[in-house]
Structure 1
Amino acid sequence: MSTSVVLPALGESVTEGTVTRWLKKVGDTVQEDEGLLEISTDKVDTEIPSPVSGVIEEILVQEDETVEVGAVLAKIGDGSGASDAAPAPEQASSDSSDQEQAAAEETPEAAPTPEPAAAAPAVAKPTAAEPAPASGSTGTDVVLPELGESVTEGTVTRWLKQVGDRVAVDEPLLEISTDKVDTEIPSPIAGIVQEILVKEDETVAVGSALARVGDAAATTSPAEVAPEAPSTEKPVEADQPVAAPAPQAAPAPAPASPAPAPATTASAPAAASTPAPAPAPAAASADGDDVTYVTPLVRRLAQQQGVDLAAIKGSGVGGRIRKEDVLKAAEAARTAPATPAAQTAPAAATRQISELRGTTQPMSRLRKVLAERAVASMQQTAQLTTVVEVDVTRLAALRDRSKGDFLAKTGDKLSFLPFFALAAAEALQSYPIVNATVDGTDIVYPATENVSIAVDTERGLLTPVLRDAATKNIAQIAHEIADLAARTRDNKLKPDELAGGTFTLTNTGSRGALFDTPVVFLPQSAILGTGTVVKRPGVVSVDGKDAIAVRSYVFLALSYDHRIIDGADAARFLGAIKARLEDASFEGDLGI
């Protein structure tokens, strides 16, 4: 029975697509989720994966032909409806390779001494046949999964495993970078990495095969076991068993399996010595996994803090080293030498010299995307910034009174940011033009206030979205901001959590800045920058007379697209936020 491959829905406004290239032809065998063809629409170019495993029986749409969503592109079945010419050579080659393999196994037993020359061809044939199991049905393709609605491709930044390495289910294989998020791709099955199909720094489309993982096939044996056999044999006997190590390479990684046992009976001393050292390299590589499987953020943080990852015991799942483990190790290293050398060189201990001095580094994919979007935003919009100063003395007093109970009841620290976010979201409800977007000659007013929170990470600036911010209280906003920021820095954020923002809030005051002029990123029309809260003398009214008192102030800077937002709109919006913060009547909104 055949299965139809149809053109799926690729977006709300996408109604048709054009076949740009077929990646498979009639008679080819495909795996489930393996790329079949490339489709181009007015919004995106992407690959269409196979919904099932089988043989392509018929291609119904030719290249450069445009079809509607839902149209049948091809049919996949068990091969009965397609030409038998394609599967036949595959079967013949597998049969012949089985016969050659059997002959190779019998050759050392039948005539181990009289025909050393005949053994050499026997070695060459199994070696040439090795790639067949790796590329056949014995392995499972690891494909680039969907990482969000708008993510169509990813770049391989680093392979965590190499060909021949053993992996467990859900164990990370590689690191992928997209324009939304950097993440690790886990192995779907347990087995041996048979083949790596995509190199580092190479960009591939969603659904593309990245690697192939299968059972303990003879993928790593020639590299790992062949050097072992000559080292355990005497030099005089090395000429004769040359043919034997290659066929015996397959059972070496799994000495407990019953199948390879008869093939090793001809050289019992060698077989007995070869499996013994084999587990040692595997154990060594497993011990090194805790250091290998760290995210780029953790690795870079360890370099900056001068922490040796090999000396850290991870607290994450499976012993994974997390950011907190590195920070604890760095703090322990700073406090430990403080006792013997009290104040020997305080200046040298606090200053860190970057390893990037005097080097040239390529831009990361995220940095390239940020650069392109920043330039596009400045070229396509008319940006202007308006700044106001807000007296947050009452708000600071409320925060000081409430932060103890807030932490005890919610588990989150109470900062100024949740108050700023709630005040901004409420002001957006009153002045929706600041929350609007431009669509050609139309102005679109969203029905919700989805506030993007700018988060500074080692990879660059990311903006996870706090959805429906105006409907939440301070406790909910504080918890969601803390959760989003932590998962963003730990590379655990889902791509969809970065989409859908209508307005952005950036807290540059967290690093001590008074204010800045932030850049609006399309399609949004405004971004609010909050400065640091500082205490300084201010003029207040006491009994109708002016007096000098210590007050807490903060600058709020609103950058906006002057095409649809006027200066008066910005001033009214900032005035609403200023009034809400200076009034500081948030007791009923704390949520505790």
Structure 2
Amino acid sequence: MNIKELTIPRLGESVESVQLVRYTKNIGDFINEDEVIAEVSTDKVDSDVPATNAGKIIEFKYNEGDEIKVGEVFAVIELGNFQENNSKKEETTEKEITVEEKQKTVHQSIETSQFLSPLVKNIIQKENLTATDINQIVGSGHDGRISKNDVLNYIQKKTNVSSSFNNSVISASSFGAKDEIIEMDKMRQLISKHMKKSKQTSPHVTAYVEPDVTNFVKWREENKTAFQTKYNQKLTFTPMIVDCVVRAIKDFPMINVSVDETETKIIKHHTINIGIATALPNNNLIVPVIKDANELNLEGLAKNVNAIVDKARHNKLSPDDIRGGTFTISNVGTFGNLMGTPIINQPEVAILATGVIKKKPAVLETEFGDIIVARQFMYLSLSFDHRVIDGSLGGVFLKRISDYMENWDMNTKF
């Protein structure tokens, strides 16, 4: 028998394992090359795993819900272009009737919505969801479209309603009669593991500066309309901050590194790939990446920032959109926060948090003496990995970002 073992592909530099969401085929099914055989989930994005060869599925190594390391064998197929022999069909068995009845129920259910993809329909069929169930699912996709995550989250919540108290490891004394137990969705569970592992891996140190960003703010205010007219791109503060960060990384390239698995070697990255931490409508967080940011001008940065943020918020990111980051920026000012102490996005070694911009009284020195005026300020906080970045390097790097923002050239052209 000529067989082929299928392995979990690498979905990003920091991804060491995935959670098997579900198989899209059954043992004994025939599958074509590049046809999806399984869905997996990481802390960053959900992905489909295609078959690398055509053949007949003869074994699954893991169960749905299991965690699988990258590179591990999860399925085995017998190679060949098989076709079912229609001439040998037997009378319909009780099992086949059951399947037919299920499919009929599904078809009746999915008629309640015109925005269900084949993948979503397959999940609905397998889980025997009714029209009532589907109507209770709130779609997070474009135009309210129901995504596979929406369906899976609904199924998980529905299942946990009856089992949460029986299987809970929370002691009875830790919650009251009116308290609600909320199960984490799969993405939140994986984010939790990723953040915990980051703190366990890297000794975090956080430094702070408070730059005067008056000119930074003023230049954007004076040019945002012309910028959008010329490039059809919205000019937010984010691409301007990315520009300052990239320039600072060029000055201090040892910030743009990672540590190998043996913790004995430093990997110095040639390209500067900036991750932009983005909040999703479901309150989870994802970090899409601007590739080769060191090669982009302000127009290119604005275009890329707008594109990846839009894709993230509409659940359209691909695995390539979230892999390869070398430095991350998290804008906590979006939520009105003054500052934050961000957790490093492994395997990177530093992350910048930007706070809200606020007017404050400031003392300025003039030839006529000191004067008090209103200026724009914001906090920058840099968390860095003390294994490879000492306080001096982390401090001067953060100050350099601050300097570029404070000294933003009011004559900057675009």
Instruction: State the Cα distance separating 1:539 from its structure 2 match.
Output: 1.3
Instruction: State the Cα distance separating 1:541 from its structure 2 match.
Output: 1.8
Q: Which has the higher contact order (CA 8 A, sep 6+)?
A: 2
Distance in 2, matches of 1:535 and 1:400, equals 15
**What do residues 389-416 of structure 1 show as CA deviations (whole Å, max 9, x unaligned)?**
1011122221221122123223333332
The code of the aligned residue for 2:267 comes to V
The code of the aligned residue for 1:76 comes to G
Distance in 2, matches of 1:515 and 1:467, equals 26
The code of the aligned residue for 2:125 comes to I
Give the secondary structure class of the aligned counterpart of 2:236: coil
The code of the aligned residue for 1:172 comes to L
Give the secondary structure class of the aligned counterpart of 1:196: helix
Residue 452, structure 1, aligned to residue 396, structure 2:
no
Residue 370, structure 1, aligned to residue 299, structure 2:
no
Q: Equivalences for 1:315-334 in 2 at 5 Å?
A: 320-321=143-144
CA-atom RMSD, angstroms? 4.4
Q: Which residue number corresponds to residue 242 of structure 2? A: 421
Aligned residues, how many? 343
Contact 1:446 1:502 in 2 (8 A): yes
Q: Which residue number corresponds to residue 51 of structure 1? A: 53
Q: 1:491 to 1:6 in 2, by over 3 A?
A: closer
Instruction: State the Cα distance separating 1:449 from its structure 2 match.
Output: 0.9
Q: Which runs of 5+ in 2 are unaligned?
A: 14-24, 39-47, 60-72, 147-177
Contact 2:55 2:79 in 1 (8 A): no
Q: 1:367 to 1:199 in 2, by over 3 A?
A: farther
Q: 1:383 to 1:587 in 2, by over 3 A?
A: same
Instruction: State the Cα distance separating 1:545 from its structure 2 match.
Output: 2.8
Residue 463, structure 1, aligned to residue 287, structure 2:
yes
Contact 2:277 2:329 in 1 (8 A): yes
Q: Which residue number corresponds to residue 359 of structure 1? A: 180
**What do residues 527-575 of structure 1 show as CA deviations (whole Å, max 9, x unaligned)?**
0011111111111121263221111111110000001001110121112
Pick the aligned partner of 1:172 from 104, 111, 116: 116
**What do residues 420-479 of structure 1 show as CA deviations (whole Å, max 9, x unaligned)?**
111001111221221110112100011111111011113311111111222222232223
Give the secondary structure class of the aligned counterpart of 2:234: coil
Q: Which residue number corresponds to residue 125 of structure 2? A: 196
The code of the aligned residue for 1:403 comes to K
Distance in 2, matches of 1:48 and 1:432, equals 38
Instruction: State the Cα distance separating 1:480 from its structure 2 match.
Output: 2.1
**What do residues 212-261 of structure 1 show as CA deviations (whole Å, max 9, x unaligned)?**
xxxxxxxx9xxxxxxxxxxxxxxxxxxxxxxxxxxxxxxxxxxxxxxxxx
Contact 1:30 1:50 in 2 (8 A): no
**What do residues 180-204 of structure 1 show as CA deviations (whole Å, max 9, x unaligned)?**
xxxxx356xxxxx79934689xxxx
**What do residues 564-587 of structure 1 show as CA deviations (whole Å, max 9, x unaligned)?**
001110121112212211111264
Q: Which residue number corresponds to residue 80 of structure 2? A: 76
Q: 1:293 to 1:473 in 2, by over 3 A?
A: farther
TM-score w.r.t. the length of structure 2 is 0.69
Q: Which residue number corresponds to residue 411 of structure 1? A: 232
The code of the aligned residue for 2:347 comes to P
Q: Which residue number corresponds to residue 436 of structure 1? A: 257
Distance in 1, matches of 2:365 and 2:380, equals 23
Give the secondary structure class of the aligned counterpart of 1:448: coil
Q: Which residue number corresponds to residue 162 of structure 1? A: 106
Contact 2:53 2:79 in 1 (8 A): no
Distance in 1, matches of 2:233 and 2:330, equals 20
Q: 1:547 to 1:468 in 2, by over 3 A?
A: same
Q: 1:128 to 1:553 in 2, by over 3 A?
A: closer
Contact 1:290 1:321 in 2 (8 A): no
Contact 1:34 1:50 in 2 (8 A): no
Give the secondary structure class of the aligned counterpart of 1:522: coil
The code of the aligned residue for 2:80 comes to I
Q: Which residue number corresponds to residue 499 of structure 1? A: 323
The code of the aligned residue for 2:53 comes to P
Q: 1:291 to 1:426 in 2, by over 3 A?
A: farther
The code of the aligned residue for 2:335 comes to R
TM-score w.r.t. the length of structure 1 is 0.50
The code of the aligned residue for 1:431 comes to F
